[in-house]
Amino acid sequence: MKRQEKYISILRDMLSEWRWILGYVNRYKFIVLLYIIIGIAGTAMSLGTAIASKYLIDAVVSRLNSSLPKYAVLTIGLALFQFIFSAAASWISAVVGTRANNEIREEIYSNILRSEWEDIHSFHSGDLLNRIEGDVAAVSGGVISFIPGVFTRVIQFFGSLAIVLYYDKVMALLSLLSAPFLFFASRILIKTMRKYNAASRDLNGRVISYSEESIRNIHIIKAFDLTERYIENFRKTIDAYRSVRLSYEKFSVITTLILSVIGLAVSYLCYGWGVYRLWQGAISFGTMTLFLQVAGGLSSSFSALAGLVPSAVSIATSAGRIMEVTSFEKETDADRKAALALLKKAETSPVSITAENVTFTYSDGDAPVLSGVSFSASSGETIALVGPSGEGKTTLLKLLLGLIKPDSGKAVISAGGDSLVISDSTRRLFSYVPQETGLFSGTIAENLRMVYSGAKDEELISALTQTEMWDFVSSLPEGLDTQLGEMGDNLSAGQAQRIAIARALLKRAPILLMDEATGSLDPETESAVLKKIMKNNPAQICILTTHRESMLRYCDKVYRVNPDGTVTETEGM
């Protein structure tokens, strides 16, 4: 009973996944329809060629010289058109398949970026990449090739069946002897293939995640002499993946062997019956040839239809994995107009932030990270958030950025008499310097202009000057056009931090959030940078997290984030 329920559950999931895929099929319905028509036409040509060859052989055997040219031309013509239609189908598949793959990849990528931060953050980047690449490729192939393939196989099957039935009903029955076995085997195929496909996709994601993360942190691996350990761990990971793949391939080989033996037995039965009928004089040599061609096609087309089951399972599994990461709640930017209006007012009016009794718990957590938090900040103030690591300081900044939403309470930003509850829309009023700097591959100028694409070189220089970085950048051979490595790995930690601060300043937002943003700077440089930031941006609210006592002398208020998630105003560390 439990097995039956599990099987029904699998079928329901697959049905849901294929409904989702059909949404994409509808998008490309005209191309898919054209592909189906070409496939059906090619199949019709194939069946027509078999019939024409029957008459050609009969004409040869009967020495009907007058009919030979006609049937020869017809047979060759149909075969030629079959090749043409096959080539056209391949071309359409290649062109449209590439287009569909790129469009679906772009859509899935957009879906992931627009998802709520907390939902998508629970997935490893390597796993997400695997879904964007491998799973999308499987789905796009299903959209363009699989469904037209089903129609083509069905037409081939029923066309072959109709021809065989017309000439010999017993032959048709013999051709379908494998049908009952394939029908009952499909249940095992679906359950087993789905299990292996899901495990294979998951392990492949782990391989990608592990390799991506270790290569990104290769300097740490080398520094701690962990090279051999990571190689060994990677070997174990790919061995686990290989084990699943080999189990899957073993199952596929055995299944294919069984189906092939059954197909061969059916073919020989058909052949034997044809020989017997020919010996009886009931059929001609041409009809015998037709039987061998069409009966074999009938058996193979049915086997091909059964063989589509693993493909359907694989495509549905990939669709389910994509659906998992695209079904999350999306950021809607619902308050876009109000936020832009507030940003405009902030250019000439004082800005303030107020948090009132805010409580927040992560979805995978048991206790609140923030509990009943209240605080305020106004234009020109510098606010410090202090407390032990992991107690909620960064979480509070994420809340201000609208990356997470409070369970209760609210945080409000005000300017010029108008107020707006903080959300993904109010992110426009903030600049942010994360702990990990967040630099990208590209030039220094490109990294800076990410937040202000129209910035002139003079503005870039001004931002770099405020962070004590211009002297260094100007001394580089390429200056602002110097290429940065991934995560800015060809810079020192302090240099990368200062470029990240310069980028935030270039945005000229009324509120600056700095998460341990000067942790890699020496006290002298830190002091110079903070003084210049305050001098050049006197009306800006600056909220920073820090573990340094020296930072507090620049702050107007200090809030301590306590282990129980509460926040209290204090005077020191």
Measured CA to CA in angstroms, residue 220 lies from 213, 226, 227, 230, 488 at distances of 11, 8, 10, 11, 15
Q: How confident is the model at residue 152 (pLDDT cuts 50, 70, 90)?
A: confident
Lowest mean pLDDT among 143-152, 252-261, 323-332: 252-261
pLDDT at 157: 78
pLDDT at 342: 93
Q: Report how far residue 44's alpha carbon sits from residue 159's, in angstroms, rounded to the nearest whole number.
A: 8
pLDDT (tens digit per residue) in 432-457: 998 887 888 889 999 999 888 888 99
DSSP string, 355-384: EEEEEE--TT-SS-SEEEEEEEEETT-EEE
Residues making up the chain, counted from first to last: 573
Whether the predicted pLDDT of 182 surpasses 70: no
pLDDT (tens digit per residue) in 49-108: 777 777 777 777 776 666 677 777 777 777 787 778 777 777 777 777 777 788 888 888
pLDDT (tens digit per residue) in 273-321: 777 877 877 777 777 777 767 766 666 666 666 667 777 778 888 888 8
Q: How confident is the model at residue 167 (pLDDT cuts 50, 70, 90)?
A: confident
**Which residue ranges form the domains of the chain, and what is each CATH number?**
2-326 (1.20.1560.10), 336-570 (3.40.50.300)
3-state secondary structure of 442: strand
Residues 6+ apart with CB under 8 A from 316: 13, 14, 17, 18, 21, 194
Whether the predicted pLDDT of 413 surpasses 90: yes
pLDDT at 260: 67
Read off the pLDDT of each residue in 365-378 and give the average, rounded to a whole number.
Answer: 88
pLDDT > 90 in the chain, percent: 17
3-state secondary structure of 560: strand
Whether the predicted pLDDT of 190 surpasses 80: no
Per-residue tokens: 81: 């058109």
Whether the predicted pLDDT of 116 surpasses 70: yes
Whether the predicted pLDDT of 3 surpasses 70: no
Question: Between residues 516 and 213, which one has the greater pLDDT?
Answer: 516
pLDDT (tens digit per residue) in 8-54: 776 777 788 888 888 877 877 787 788 788 878 877 887 777 777 77
Mean pLDDT, all residues of the chain: 81
Amino acid at 219: H
Q: Report how far residue 174's alpha carbon sits from residue 176's, in angstroms, rounded to the nearest whole number.
A: 5
